[in-house]
């Protein structure tokens, strides 16, 4: 066991009033660490510490802020094997996924370090010859970042790196399941020279400390990734308190496979999108819409991959699909599989827990078919290694099925027909469209976010991230008349 993990407020480790066990989802009897949980008073102190640190951090020149991020990136890179292993241990991702995600976090820090050398405003021609008219982006103030467990270092990095680069201070509330990864990330930033209080880590239950953070008078903005009900509740509370809010929520992402597609490629990408990270990503493929002539071959290929990809302990190098992250996740996913069976769906492969793997939260990669159109299995985010097949009679029918969801995060199409690809790129109601690529997998320099119920507020990642983390100030600068 790693010992005791605590909140970090104004640079000091601070214990709360309760402790919780951080469990290994591959073997839940194994305690990875003990977490001392913050109470609302400590969360309030963290917000106040961020407010106190803001005056100096906003005055720190942007390239100097960037240097801190760059040094933190170097530290994460040097520690990627160790942090990736701890991430896999507490979250259940495979070792390769954990190490890869840690390297991604380093790359995100480097990207936003680079952004601190980019132009930060615009000049405008004025109607007065003596006026220098310009507008400049300034930080918004104290930002609360509330992050989920499914990408425990990459998602925090893509919120915290731009927040800091553009001069904000941050209170970070990571998911309760991943306190060790959160501690590693915070430590790297502090060791890189981030001044005390600029980033404050609150290890506490969202239901306990959430309101204290979201409504705190010192807080200007909240950036959240997680479930729809929690995100919407935060939005209502925060908006009523006059805060800026950004939400990244769920998905029910479609992958359309047309009859002319390369079916080997399509099957590989569908399986990757549906089963990697045990399907626990907002960009996961959960509805596979196949044109009739391709249905049999595509489903056989996906089923074959689901059978061969090794399910097992996250730290076993041969594992391709790890466990679900928690007992709650297991219960939720098994609930959907039971519902599918009650609705007489065909279970082409998988369909339940892998009991032979012991106490870990392992669910077999699953392919379902023949679900009723109104089934909740086809409409709600499952967040497990489960794909449902749907048959389409034409391209138009496939697009209509793909768009038949309140979500709109990512959408994929597999085809060799450029005209259909372009039409799909226009007509798909999704924030990210992929052609001949899986629904998951993002590049950090491009905007990310969804339509409909999947997002609210401005996009994350890439240069556009600054729209959330900055506000414009317009300056009319006149010189007195020259004597
Ligand atoms: P939550 O939305 O509960 O958790 C996301 C974050 O919000 C966590 O840090 C959580 O803290 C925090 N939180 C919870 N309640 C509050 C609150 N009242 N005020 C402020 N913050 C709060 O998601 P779950 O972890 O419960 O996952 C449930 C489902 O949500 C998944 O099965 C999946 O469908 C979806 N989900 C989607 C994600 C995505 O990427 N789109 C990511 C994660 C989940 P704490 O951990 O302490 O509860």
For residue 174, the CA-to-ligand 1 centroid distance in Å is: 9
Closest ligand 1 atom number to CA of residue 205:
47
439-483 confidence digits (pLDDT tens): 999 999 999 999 999 999 999 999 999 999 999 999 999 988 878
Determine the Cα–Cα distance for residues 449 and 283; give it in Å rounded to an integer. Answer: 10
Q: Would residue 81 show up in a list of annotated catalytic residues for this protein?
A: no
pLDDT, residue 107, reads 98
Pocket test of ligand 1: the residue of 227, 231, 336 to mutate, having most ligand atoms within 8 Å of its CB, is 227
pLDDT, residue 3, reads 82
**Pair of tokens at residue 456:** 């609210």
DSSP per position, 436-475: SS-S----TTS-B--SGGGEESS-BSTGGGHHHHEEEEEE
For residue 31, the CA-to-ligand 1 centroid distance in Å is: 22
pLDDT, residue 482, reads 78
Strand order across the beta sheet in which 18-24 lies: 4-5, 27-37, 18-24
pLDDT, residue 481, reads 81
H or E, element range at 5: strand 4-5
DSSP per position, 262-283: -HHHHHHHHHHHHHGGGG-STT
pLDDT, residue 465, reads 98
Q: Which of 282, 291, 381, 453 is catalytic?
A: 282
Q: Would residue 282 show up in a list of annotated catalytic residues for this protein?
A: yes
For residue 399, the CA-to-ligand 1 centroid distance in Å is: 30
Q: What is the dihedral of CA 216, 219, 220, 226, to 10 degrees?
A: -90
Low-confidence residues in the chain, pLDDT < 70: 1
For residue 230, the CA-to-ligand 1 centroid distance in Å is: 7
Q: Which residues line ligand 1 (CB under 6 A)?
A: 146-150, 173-176, 205-207, 210, 225-227, 230, 234, 249-250, 282, 329, 332, 381, 383
Q: pTM of the entire structure?
A: 0.98
206, 9 Cβ separation under 8 angstroms: no
pLDDT, residue 139, reads 98
253, 283 Cβ separation under 8 angstroms: yes
397-443 confidence digits (pLDDT tens): 999 999 999 999 999 999 999 999 999 999 999 999 999 999 999 99
Determine the Cα–Cα distance for residues 152 and 61; give it in Å rounded to an integer. Answer: 29
pLDDT, residue 330, reads 98
pLDDT, residue 17, reads 86
**331 Cβ partners below 8 Å, 6+ apart?**
none
Q: Which of 176, 248, 380, 453 is catalytic?
A: 248
């Amino acid at each position: 066991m790693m010992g005791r993990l605590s909140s970090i407020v104004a640079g000091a480790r601070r214990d709360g009033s309760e402790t919780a066990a951080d469990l290994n989802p591959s073997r839940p009897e194994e305690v990875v660490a003990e977490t001392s949980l913050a109470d609302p008073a400590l969360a309030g102190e963290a917000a106040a510490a961020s407010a106190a640190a803001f005056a100096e951090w906003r005055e720190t020149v942007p390239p100097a802020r960037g240097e801190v991020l760059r040094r933190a990136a170097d530290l994460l890179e040097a520690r990627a094997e160790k942090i990736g292993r701890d991430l896999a241990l507490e979250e259940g991702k495979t070792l390769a996924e954990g190490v890869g995600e840690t390297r991604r976090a380093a790359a995100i820090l480097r990207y936003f370090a680079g952004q601190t050398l980019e132009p930060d405003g615009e000049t405008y021609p004025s109607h007065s010859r003596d006026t220098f008219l310009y507008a400049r982006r300034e930080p918004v103030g104290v930002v609360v970042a509330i992050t989920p467990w499914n990408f425990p270092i990459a998602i925090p990095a893509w919120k915290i790196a731009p927040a800091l680069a553009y001069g904000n201070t941050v209170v970070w509330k990571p998911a309760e399941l991943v306190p060790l990864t959160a501690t590693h990330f915070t430590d790297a930033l502090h060791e890189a020279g981030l001044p005390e209080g600029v980033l404050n880590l609150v290890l506490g239950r969202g239901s306990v400390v959430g309101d204290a953070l979201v409504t705190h008078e010192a807080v200007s903005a909240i950036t959240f990734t997680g479930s729809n009900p929690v995100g919407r509740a935060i939005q209502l509370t925060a908006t009523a308190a006059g805060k800026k809010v950004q939400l990244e929520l769920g998905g029910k992402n479609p992958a359309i496979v047309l009859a002319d597609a390369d079916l080997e490629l399509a099957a590989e990408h569908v399986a990757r999108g549906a089963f990697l990270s045990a399907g626990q990503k907002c960009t996961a493929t959960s509805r596979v819409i196949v044109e009739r002539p391709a249905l049999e071959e595509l489903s056989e290929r996906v089923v074959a991959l689901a059978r061969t990809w090794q399910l097992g302990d996250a730290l076993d190098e041969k594992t391709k699909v790890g466990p679900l992250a928690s007992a709650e996740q297991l219960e939720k996913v098994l609930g959907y599989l039971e519902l599918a069976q009650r609705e007489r769906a065909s279970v082409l492969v998988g369909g339940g827990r892998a009991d032979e793997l012991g106490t870990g939260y392992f669910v077999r990669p699953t392919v379902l078919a023949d679900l009723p159109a109104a089934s909740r299995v086809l409409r709600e985010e499952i967040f497990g290694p489960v794909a449902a097949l749907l048959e389409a009679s034409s391209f138009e029918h496939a697009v209509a099925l793909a768009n038949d969801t309140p979500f709109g995060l990512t959408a994929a199409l597999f085809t060799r027909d450029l005209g259909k690809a372009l039409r799909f790129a226009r007509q798909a109601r999704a924030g990210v469209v992929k052609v001949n690529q899986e629904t998951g997998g993002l590049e950090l320099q491009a905007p990310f976010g969804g339509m409909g119920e999947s997002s609210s507020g401005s996009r994350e990642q890439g240069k556009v991230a600054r729209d959330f983390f900055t506000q414009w100030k317009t300056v009319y600068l006149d010189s007195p008349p020259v004597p």
